[in-house]
Amino acid sequence: MLPDKSILIYAYGNPGRQDDGLGNRLVELLEPWISENGLNNVELDSNFQLNIEDADNIREKDIVVFVDASILDIEDFQFDVVEPSEGRSEFSMHSASPAYVLALCNKLYNKFPETYILQIKGYEWEFQEGLSERAAKNLESAVSFLKDRIVQGKF
């Protein structure tokens, strides 16, 4: 465990568009686990999309894990390091990408938290609530993976 490092898991997506809500659901599933295990260094947040104000939200964290549904041709999920970039995201329809938020955090606050993106494969994007069956299975895998990373301090 990393008791001395603050971790923010920040999910974004629209739960009203089926699998686009994968990240938001991940936060809901992690919340009781974090509480039960007394992981006071782990903070959760979720929103419909990333915004430039999120640069302020991540600046005091040691580790940030952004979580989003993915339309890319990946397996069940993919976990990557985020490097700062002034450009937009290539895998997401959201207005600000994790790379852009990280670049802005560095530019405004001279802070550079260790940052990752956890992309969870989605399949259905219609205007209705609820995850597709395949996306829900991918979510289970991603939650287990993230819990393991947190407990073992593998960032």
Q: Where do the structural domains in the chain lie, given as residue ranges?
A: 7-152
Q: Are 13 and 21 in contact (CB under 8 A)?
A: yes
Could you tell me the CATH superfamily of domain 7-152? HybD-like (3.40.50.1450)
Residue with tokens 């287990």: 144
pLDDT in tens, 59-116: 999 999 999 999 999 999 999 999 999 865 444 444 689 999 999 999 999 999 999 9
Q: How many helices (H) and strands (E) are present in the chain, helices listed first? A: 4, 5
Average pLDDT over residues 108-135: 97
pLDDT band at 35; cut points 50, 70, 90: very high
Q: Which of 76-113 are b and which e, b meaning 16 or more Cβ less than 10 Å from the residue's Cβ?
A: ebeeeebebeeeebebbebebbbbbbbbbbeeeeeeeb
What is d(CA 141, CA 143) in angstroms, rounded to the nearest whole number? 6
Residue with tokens 């640069």: 55
